[in-house]
Amino acid sequence: MGSPPPHRLLLLLAVAAVLPRSAAAAEGVIRLPRGRACAAPTDPAAYDRPVIGIVSHPGDGAGGRVSNGTAASYIAASYVKFVESAGARVVPLIYNEPEERLLEKLSLVNGVLFTGGSVKSGPYFETIKKVFQYVLDKNDAGIPFPLFAQCLGFELVSMIVSKDNNILESFSATNQASTLQFPNYSSLEGSVFERFDPDLIKKLSTSCLVMQNHKYGISPKTLRENVALSSFFKILTTSPDENGEVYVSTVQANKYPITCTQWHPEKAIFEFGKQMIPHSEEAVQVTQNFANYFISQARKSQNRPPADKVLDNLIYNYSPTFIGKKSKSFDVVYIFS
């Protein structure tokens, strides 16, 4: 085979030239050319240890096959990993815990996530309302506090903002991969889609890269004609259901760091139970962009909770359960009972 080809030799020389002599001696310390160790934070205003609260949903996530306890609630691990994949940790906001506990946990987080699910009334809806009001209050007080609401979460937020529990319409979009259509490119400014490569935006509008799993939604017409909703949200994307009926699939609040999707970004990377879930590299990129965007908003939070209290409340205090053999809905869930 002889000597390496010239371009590889050049590369080897270049690597040798930039490697500091003391690299082997100073193990574990990254040396800059001038010999100073790296100081970690570059932007002192950004908080690099963000924590996200996720509200648990009634049930066990497996139709009672794992737990029939009436007080049981769950968070699919895919939402937790979605948050973790962007450099944040999770505190579960267990929906049926006493209000003092909810408020205590909210004081420990830098943003919240509302998951998908099915329950639209009762104590669960009341907890969602309280947390949503907390999000508005924080931001109104000048404290950045993002919310990312998905599927049921988006539906509940639509009901709360419109003050109309019958605002939702029926759509046929269960277990369906769909495109995202962009009705107004100007509205994407300042939104999550700003960090998308133009090629990926194009692919989103032509290939089915996102996972839908819902029976309800809101049409662009209903959103636009509802004064409360249309002044609160701008429409970023729409999607067609199985019958070609168009619903709003992504919105962003005009004055708040609130993004809602009718679709499920977390599933492309972390759920394999349903055949329709896209897992392509592009679908994964879409998910990663959403996770990175959401956590970038949480890094703007000024909340610096005591580390020991955070540790006491992290979801790591609970063990996830593999339910993928019993249920097609989720592979892994955290169950609270």
Ligand X SMILES: *[C@@H]1O[C@H](CO)[C@@H](O)[C@H](O)[C@H]1NC(C)=O
Tell me which residues touch ligand X (CB under 6 A): 64-68, 184, 186-187, 234
Greatest Cα pair distance, the chain, in angstroms, is 76
CB of 234 to ligand X, least distance (A): 5
- For ligand X, the closer of residues 4 and 183 by Cβ is 183
Q: How far apart are CA 247 and CA 57, in angstroms?
A: 24
151 belongs to the catalytic site: yes
Backbone phi and psi for residue 177, each to the nearest 5 degrees, phi listed first: -90, 145
Measure CA 262 to chain center: 12
Nearer to ligand X, 69 or 306 (CB): 69
Q: Please say whether the beta carbons of 78 and 267 come within 8 A.
A: yes
Shortest reach from residue 78's CB to ligand X, in Å: 22
* Residue 264 designated active-site: yes
Q: Which of 151, 208, 214, 260 is catalytic?
A: 151
Least Å from the CB of residue 188 to ligand X: 8
* Nearer Cβ to ligand X (234/267): 234
Nearer to ligand X among residue 66 and residue 180 (C-beta): 66
- The residue annotated as part of the active site, out of 57, 214, 260, 264, is 264
HSE of 244, CA atoms in CB hemisphere, 13 A: 0
Nearer to ligand X, 186 or 319 (CB): 186
Give CA separation, 237 vs 191, 259, 279, in Å: 11, 12, 21
User: Is there a contact between 265 and 82 (Cβ–Cβ < 8 Å)?
Assistant: yes
- List Cβ neighbours of 4 (8 Å cut-off, separation of 6 or more): 12
- Tell me how far, at minimum, the Cβ of 69 lies from ligand X, in Å: 9
112-114, strands of its sheet edge to edge: 89-93, 51-55, 112-114, 147-150, 258-261, 246-253, 233-240
Provide, rounded to whole angstroms, the least separation between the CB of residue 320 and ligand X. 17
Catalytic positions are: 151, 264
